[in-house]
Amino acid sequence: MRKLYIVKRKQDFDNIINKGKIKKNKSFIIYYQKNDFVYDRYGISVGKKLGNAVFRNSYKRKIRAIIDNYKKNYVNGTDYIIILRRGSLETDYSGLNKDFINLMLNIRKDSNNE
């Protein structure tokens, strides 16, 4: 994932979380909000309560790989903050992939209905 497509600033994270919409399932919480760019941006958060730094970075790499596979399908100029939930710890990579894609399809469906 290129740096251009990453939400990094704390102000951006806070803005998206406080003013954006939210969707959740057992593995993820996704906050999303329209942006002024022609591309999507993603921010990933894995809490300290879930595990040590090696564990958290491992899950961030998995989530980035899922995003890279999915983002080619549809781009609509939206910022996403993806937070990993404790319920995802029992799921393998394919389960995470399925949960993420289902959640993103729900978000896309809601965005199209507005």
Task: Tell me the per-residue pLDDT of 40-84, one tens digit each, with 9 for 90 and over.
Answer: 889 999 989 988 999 999 999 999 999 888 877 767 788 999 999
Model-wide pTM > 0.75: yes
Write the CATH number for 100.
Answer: 3.30.230.10
Distance CA 28, CA 31 (A): 10
In this predicted structure, the answer to whether residue 114 has a pLDDT above a threshold of 70 is no
Q: Which of 14-23, 27-36, 65-74, 77-86 has the lowest mean pLDDT?
A: 65-74
CA 82, chain centre distance (Å) = 3
**Domain with 48 in it:** 3-113
pLDDT band at 18 (very low <50, low <70, confident <90, very high): very high
- In the chain, the number of structural domains is 1
- 88: its two tokens: 């995802």
